[in-house]
């Protein structure tokens, strides 16, 4: 079968690789209906994360169950399923508190930029749709696997409430999903920070009421001006750089919350500044499994359309072009047809 392997900076290839097999009785094997390239895949692709051995890429996935291990009880062959990028048993104490991304058996999905994938801990990781979805819903269901679930977690962690003012730092796919989530949670003012026209337009379609193109201190000043020098009630940090984190902290009003989901690279904190900001922070890898049933339901009922975030589509064999398009910011997010 075809699968995606990263060998080093900007060296990603689609190759013939062995089909996965059941290894543990808790495994499932699924045939992918679609896969995609994640913004976090760009960190090793660009060389920001060291690649010491060939990496089988891909952690966002949905498709049809082909086979299950002897211990799997909640999904069966022939069902359409969506799974989280974090593998979890969904039964440990952390899972029961809703933090499946800190499961005692947590691993991270890999090898999903392929035609077939093995999913460990299938009972705790996969959620079946009530019926086989129509083809046009596949991109949106794929989005729930990570990018929508992560944007949703950012809004949840930032305690977005009906009537609140929200600022979203980052106009990548996760930031745009954060805008969608904030709108669904009832925010009345959503400020999207973006300098790119296409992304600005999609942010507005998803519910942004204001666009701020400035960054850094100028971006903070602009948000303060828009909020009568108060700051936002909730800020979603969806990038992971030191600049974006500092921007998020300084955009938040005292007593407000920051939901941070950008994978940190070079982020540092000044204790005195954080102390006197009186802002709360919650983030980390998103517990997507907590939100999956609700998000799948919203998609299946066509109440949301997160699949519009996929603005570039290539067959799996051309995955290298998909990475390149995102690296060069010609694409928000690449959909891979398998």
3-class SS letters over 235-250: EEECCCEHHHHHHHHH
pLDDT at residue 199, as a whole number: 96
Contacts of 97 (CB under 8 A, 6+ apart): none
Residues 37 and 168 in one domain: no
Distances (CA, A) of 273 to 89, 227, 253, 269: 39, 21, 13, 8
Question: What is the pTM assigned to this prediction?
Answer: 0.96
Last residue of a domain, one of 263, 283, 303: 283
- Span between the terminal Cα atoms of the chain, in Å: 10
- Please tell me the distance from the alpha carbon of residue 280 to that of residue 249, in angstroms, as a whole number: 9
Residues 34 and 49 in one domain: yes
Same domain membership, residue 32 and residue 163: no
- Residues 244, 192 within the same domain: yes
Residues 296 and 253 in one domain: no
Q: Are residues 257 and 296 in the same domain?
A: no
DSSP 259-303: EE-SPPBS----HHHHHHHT-EEEESS--HHHHHHHHHHHHHTTS
Residue 106, domain CATH: 3.90.180.10
92 & 194 share domain: no
Residue 114, Ramachandran bin (φ over 0: left; ψ between -120 and 50: alpha; else beta): beta
Shared domain check, 294 and 176: no
**304 close to 143: Cβ distance less than 8 angstroms:** no
Do 57 and 119 lie in one domain? The reply is yes
Contact between 235 and 166 under an 8 Å Cβ cutoff? The reply is: yes
Q: In tens digits, what is the pLDDT along the chain, a chain of 338 residues?
A: 999 999 999 999 999 999 999 999 999 999 999 999 999 999 999 998 999 999 999 999 999 999 999 999 999 999 999 999 999 999 999 999 999 999 999 999 999 999 999 999 999 999 999 999 999 999 999 999 999 999 999 999 999 999 999 999 999 999 999 999 999 999 999 999 999 999 999 999 999 999 999 999 999 999 999 999 999 999 999 999 999 999 999 999 999 999 999 989 899 999 998 999 999 999 999 999 999 999 999 999 999 999 999 999 999 999 999 999 999 999 999 999 99
Q: What is the domain range of residue 306?
A: 2-146+287-337
CATH at 193: 3.40.50.720
What pLDDT, on the 0 to 100 scale, is given for residue 200?
Answer: 97
**Same domain as 254, residue 197:** yes
**CA neighbours within 13 Å on the CB side: how many for 100?**
25
Specify the pLDDT at position 6: 98
Name the domain count of the chain: 2
The reply to whether 52 and 74 lie within a common domain is: yes
Residue 51, helix vs strand vs coil: coil
Please state, in angstroms and as integers, the Cα–Cα distance from residue 236 to each residue in 183, 220, 245, 248, 259, following that order: 13, 14, 10, 7, 5
Whether residues 21 and 50 fall in one domain:
yes
């Amino acid at each position: 079968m075809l699968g995606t392997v990263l060998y080093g900076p900007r060296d990603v290839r689609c190759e013939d690789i062995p089909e996965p097999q059941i290894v543990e009785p808790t495994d499932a094997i699924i045939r992918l209906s679609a896969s995609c390239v994640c913004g976090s895949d760009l960190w090793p692709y660009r060389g920001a994360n060291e690649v010491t051995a060939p990496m089988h890429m891909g952690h966002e996935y949905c498709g049809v169950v082909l086979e299950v291990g002897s211990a799997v009880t909640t999904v069966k062959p022939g069902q359409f399923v969506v799974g989280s990028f974090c593998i979890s048993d969904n039964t440990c104490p952390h899972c029961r508190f809703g933090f499946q991304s800190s499961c005692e058996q947590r691993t991270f999905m890999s090898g999903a930029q392929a035609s077939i994938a093995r999913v460990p801990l299938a009972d705790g990781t996969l959620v079946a749709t009530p019926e086989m979805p129509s083809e046009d819903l596949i991109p949106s269901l794929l989005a729930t696997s990570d990018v929508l679930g992560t944007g949703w977690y950012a809004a949840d962690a930032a305690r977005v409430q009906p009537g609140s003012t929200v600022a979203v730092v980052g106009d990548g796919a996760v930031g745009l999903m954060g805008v969608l989530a904030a709108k669904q949670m009832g925010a009345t003012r959503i400020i999207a920070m973006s300098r790119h026209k296409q992304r600005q337009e999609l942010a507005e379609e998803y519910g942004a009421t204001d666009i701020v193109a400035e960054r850094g201190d100028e971006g903070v000043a602009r948000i303060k001006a828009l909020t009568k020098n108060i700051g936002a009630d909730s800020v979603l940090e969806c990038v992971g750089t030191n600049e974006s984190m500092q921007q998020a902290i300084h955009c938040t009003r005292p007593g407000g919350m920051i939901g941070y989901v950008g994978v940190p690279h070079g982020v540092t904190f000044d204790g005195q500044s954080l102390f006197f900001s009186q802002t709360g922070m919650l983030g980390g890898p998103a517990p997507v499994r907590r939100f999956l049933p609700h998000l799948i339901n919203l998609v299946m009922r066509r109440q949301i359309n997160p699949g519009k975030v996929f603005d570039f589509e290539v067959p799996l064999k051309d995955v290298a072009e998909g990475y390149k398009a995102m690296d060069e910011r010609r694409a928000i997010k690449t959909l891979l047809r398998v």
